[in-house]
Amino acid sequence: MRISLFLGVLALGLASAALFLNDSLSDLLREQMVRFDLNHVLAFEHVSVTSKQKVLVLNATIEDPETERVVASVDQLEIGLKIPWTGGLPVPEVQSIRGRGGRVLLRYEEGELSFVRGLMALLDGIGALMSTSSEPTTSTESELPELYFEDLEVVVYSEGLHLQRYPSTSIRVREQDSQILEVMIATGADGGTLQLLLDDDGLTRLTADQFHVSPAVTTLDPAGQDILMRGFSPTGDLDAVVDLKTGLVSGTLFNAYIDAAHVPFPLGPATIPFQVDENNVLRIDEAKLAFNGGDVVLSLEAGEHEAFMSIDVDGAEFKEEILHLIPGYQEWEEVDVADGGSFECHLKVSLTDNMSEVSVVGGGGFYVSAVDFTKHGVQLEDVVGRFEVNEQNVLKFPEISARTLGGRFRTSGTLGLLDEEFRIELSLEDLDVAQLHDVFLTTEEHEDDVAGWLQGSIQGSGQLQDPASYVAKGQASVRAGNFWDTPTFEQILKVLTMSSNLDGHQRVDAEFTVGEKLVNFDSLEIQSDVLTLSGSGSIRFNGRIRFELRPAPVRLGMVGKLLDTLKEELLVKLTVRGTLGDPRVSATPLNIVARPFRSFWNFLFEDSSEPQSQEESPADEAASDG
């Protein structure tokens, strides 16, 4: 019992003594740090003496003296000391610093790597601390202690980009000669090595050996290629030598992937040789980058204020994701494009006037196997075409053609890439009208009730972003048609008291202009064996219709022709209102000559009833126009 009590008191006494000594040492170190102005660079949580000449510092942090941000934290720092007595006082000299665990933050700010700045300040302080002189001096004037850190996580931070982490990284700092400090960073898991050489002015040379880089890392490039690096966001393994004194950079990025701005899919793998000259011009000569479906050959010459790039794709397989390069493609909700086809592209892109002016020149061609317009059930097959962009930033399509609806669709046109003005010529060759049914009529009860072969041509123009500016005109005709069973013609035949069970086909010829939200038919003629309708009118995009038509029976012989003339020119006008699915048709006798001929009309159509006269009121017309 007594022995136990004695041992307990002894242990307590020893612990108190150790605590006293540690606290004394902590105070001593802090005093020295203040003395040599290290307290703005280095901080620690706890210090303990582990042996006669070793001090263990826990949770030490290094700060950037400019920003006072923590740039490195070390979980455990073991400092090898020699403590000679000078002037009756112990003056510690650091022989080695070994760190384990923690994190280093690499961030490019205030024109420098913050970690390098913090490290330089730390080394300056240590140099001063080791100096026998009472005034701090630079670290290069005296022998540096061995500096070695291991099991660090190095984190590269660049605003707006994903962090790049290098786990299990070791950092060794040593004097290469009296003027040069070497910082060797070796990352774990085959992440490569990075050698930094520093002198009094800071970082002077950087050498990468199979060093894994990501967009965050590439923005640390002190050569000032930030815009380009962000524009291309390269990832890969870097072999490079960066001479910061001359500005010369040369190297190769292996296993490279490029996440280029406005390109919605990665480019790579690739091997990209590059160099930067003394004028800070980056050159990449014919780097071949793979993408899903082919390769793009990229050459680049980029300075701080302008860049020139050539992009060449030959014989690539067409994938839908290529279309994501088109601005606004995501909004094409009713278009479904299938993978399948091929394309080529040869473009030269210039960015001038501080990268604010963009110019694209070149051209290419494409073949897309299938495009579905899902809303109307229309499919384009074997879409093939060429395009070119000229120096005036006008995109030209000499011809695009596709098979559709049993016929063929062809178009050509231009689009101003800057003003978005477009002109288009479109021709339809023998399209099967029955397959176009859903485009015009949406009522199920009238399925399969139209037929014929449509041909036509349309010329249009406008400003892409302003549908109100769209104008178009054209002509179309339908042959071998059958329209009598559509709601509109059913109503017309009913008003004319004619049977809807008419045989034979109709031919429709129309000239039209396309205005804001409507198609205006300047002339419309529907011919069949028994009846001809001619007139004009309009169809709004919402399905509202408005037509004035004059019917004429077709009779053979001279009398028939005479009757046709009278009928066509003088007797009656059909007014069509409502919608395509729910039309309202009324007949109006032409007042001046109608009455004398009314009985004649009735005689022709063998109908004793009075022709309907239902001139719509202005209110009705307004309602019809929606």
Partner 1 sequence: MIARQVAWLCLGLLVGAGCNSTVERGYYAPLGASFSTSITPQQDKTADLIVDVTCQGVYLNTVEGKLTRTAHIQLDITRTSATQVLFPVDGMRLDAIIDAVEDLPEIVDTEALLPDEVWSRRLKMHEMVLVNPWSNRSLDIFFDFVDDEQPIPSLLRFRWRAEADSGWSYGDDQFLRIPEGDPRIPPALPASDKEFGMRNGYYFPGYGVLGPRGLRDSVEVRPHYLFHAP
The residues of the shown chain that bind partner 1, judged by CB under 8 A, are 314-315, 341-342, 344, 364-367, 382, 384-386, 399, 401, 403, 406-408, 410, 427-430, 453, 455-457, 477, 479-481, 505, 507
Distances (CA, A) of 142 to 116, 120, 121, 129, 184: 20, 14, 15, 10, 20
Between 234 and 481, CB nearer to partner 1: 481
End-to-end CA distance of the chain: 107
Compute the distance between CA of residue 576 and CA of residue 620 in angstroms, rounded to an integer. 12
By DSSP bridging, strand 583-589 and strand 572-578 are antiparallel
DSSP character at residue 437: H
By DSSP bridging, strand 531-540 and strand 545-553 are antiparallel
55, 42 Cβ separation under 8 angstroms: no
Q: What are φ and ψ of residue 44, in 5° steps? A: -145, 160
Whole-number minimum distance, CB 385 to partner 1, in Å? Answer: 6
Between 63 and 312, CB nearer to partner 1: 312
Whole-number minimum distance, CB 459 to partner 1, in Å? Answer: 12
Q: Which residues contact 44 (CB under 8 A, 6 or more apart)?
A: 29, 57, 58, 59, 60, 61, 77
Compute the distance between CA of residue 564 and CA of residue 557 in angstroms, rounded to an integer. 10
Q: Which of 480, 478, 484 is nearest to 449 (CA)?
A: 484
Compute the distance between CA of residue 80 and CA of residue 145 in angstroms, rounded to an integer. 9
Whole-number minimum distance, CB 480 to partner 1, in Å? Answer: 3
DSSP collapsed to 3 states, 583-618? EEEEEEECHHHHHHHHHHHHHHHCCCCCCCCCCCCH
Question: How many CA within 13 A on the CB side of residue 257?
Answer: 11
Between 426 and 566, CB nearer to partner 1: 426
Whole-number minimum distance, CB 337 to partner 1, in Å? Answer: 16
Tally Cβ neighbours within 10 Å of residue 374. Answer: 11
Between 455 and 614, CB nearer to partner 1: 455
369, 381 Cβ separation under 8 angstroms: yes
Q: Which residues contact 480 (CB under 8 A, 6 or more apart)?
A: 451, 452, 453, 505, 507
Between 474 and 535, CB nearer to partner 1: 474
Between 348 and 479, CB nearer to partner 1: 479
Q: Which of 171, 222, 178 is nearest to 200 (CA)?
A: 178
Residue type, 464: L
181, 211 Cβ separation under 8 angstroms: no
Whole-number minimum distance, CB 370 to partner 1, in Å? Answer: 13
Between 247 and 365, CB nearer to partner 1: 365
* Helix, strand or coil, per DSSP, at residue 294: strand
Whole-number minimum distance, CB 323 to partner 1, in Å? Answer: 16
Whole-number minimum distance, CB 564 to partner 1, in Å? Answer: 20
Compute the distance between CA of residue 33 and CA of residue 407 in angstroms, rounded to an integer. 87
Between 66 and 429, CB nearer to partner 1: 429
Between 142 and 506, CB nearer to partner 1: 506
Whole-number minimum distance, CB 408 to partner 1, in Å? Answer: 6
Whole-number minimum distance, CB 528 to partner 1, in Å? Answer: 10
DSSP character at residue 143: P
Whole-number minimum distance, CB 534 to partner 1, in Å? Answer: 17
Whole-number minimum distance, CB 297 to partner 1, in Å? Answer: 14
Between 107 and 408, CB nearer to partner 1: 408
Between 507 and 550, CB nearer to partner 1: 507
Whole-number minimum distance, CB 457 to partner 1, in Å? Answer: 5
Q: Which residues contact 29 (CB under 8 A, 6 or more apart)?
A: 44, 47, 55, 92
- Which residue has tokens 């204020």? 305
List, in sequence order, every beta strand (DSSP E) within 214-248: 234-243
- What are 477's two structure tokens? 């005709």
Between 306 and 314, CB nearer to partner 1: 314
Whole-number minimum distance, CB 345 to partner 1, in Å? Answer: 10
Whole-number minimum distance, CB 468 to partner 1, in Å? Answer: 28
Q: Which of 114, 117, 197, 120 is nearest to 158 (CA)?
A: 114
Compute the distance between CA of residue 420 and CA of residue 414 in angstroms, rounded to an integer. 10
Whole-number minimum distance, CB 274 to partner 1, in Å? Answer: 29
List, in sequence order, every beta strand (DSSP E) within 22-163: 42-43, 46-51, 54-63, 70-82, 85-86, 89-90, 93-109, 112-113, 146-157
- What are 593's two structure tokens? 């000559």
Between 118 and 364, CB nearer to partner 1: 364
Between 451 and 518, CB nearer to partner 1: 451
Between 226 and 511, CB nearer to partner 1: 511
